[in-house]
Amino acid sequence: MDAPAAELTRLFQEMDAGSESARESMLAAVYGQLRNIAAVRMADEAPGRTLQATELVHEAWLRLGGPQGGGAGWNNRRHFFSAAATAMRRILIEHARQRASLKRGSGHEALTIESVLDLSDAPASDRILALDAALAGLEHEAPEAHQVVMLRFFTGLSVAECASALDSSERTVMRHWAFAKAWLAHHLENE
């Protein structure tokens, strides 16, 4: 086992035991990886090319040594994806703050992860900030629905993967997702 994988395994074990500092370390590690990947991609890619959340997260997973560091267990993947979603959201917010634009979209338009992740321009930067605020409200109103949005929107998990990660059924995930979408759309409309 190489160094990152051993580190990951240790973090997973400590997170299982409920360690808050291990959670923080995991978040820091994922966050660092995601930033690096995004920075490299932006330098490499032509403007207009969007990044994919799934791709970013997957690469971060590989670089952190996930496949060797306990990647098989869903419990570990849950820890990882939860951290990845938070890290991703943080990166997007930072990015959006840097490029805050006066252009405002409306809740009626689709707000896709692709448009948010279009790092070359900032058409949706202001909306990602509004989304962030709405997400905070959602977390208060419906913590489970909030978690579904985090996993699905920021790390691109499918409904089935999300159900598996949350130890829930696909139908329950779909119902949370539907509620979360309605909630967020409503709050962005009225923002």
Residues that bind other proteins (CB under 8 A): 52-55, 107-114, 141-145, 149, 152-153, 156-159, 167-172, 174-175, 177-179, 181-186, 189
Nearer to other proteins, 12 or 118 (CB): 118
For 140, the 3-state DSSP assignment is helix
Nearer to other proteins, 24 or 45 (CB): 45
Nearer to other proteins, 93 or 159 (CB): 159
* Shortest Å distance, C-beta 16 to other proteins: 20
Alpha helices in the chain (DSSP H): 3-16, 20-44, 53-63, 74-98, 113-116, 125-141, 143-155, 159-165, 170-189
Nearer to other proteins, 5 or 159 (CB): 159
* Shortest Å distance, C-beta 168 to other proteins: 5
Two tokens, residue 22:
């291990």
* Nearest alpha-carbon partner for 86 in 165, 149, 6: 149
Q: Chain-centre distance of CA 144, in angstroms?
A: 15
* Shortest Å distance, C-beta 140 to other proteins: 9
Cβ 105 vs Cβ 79: under 8 Å: no
* Shortest Å distance, C-beta 93 to other proteins: 17
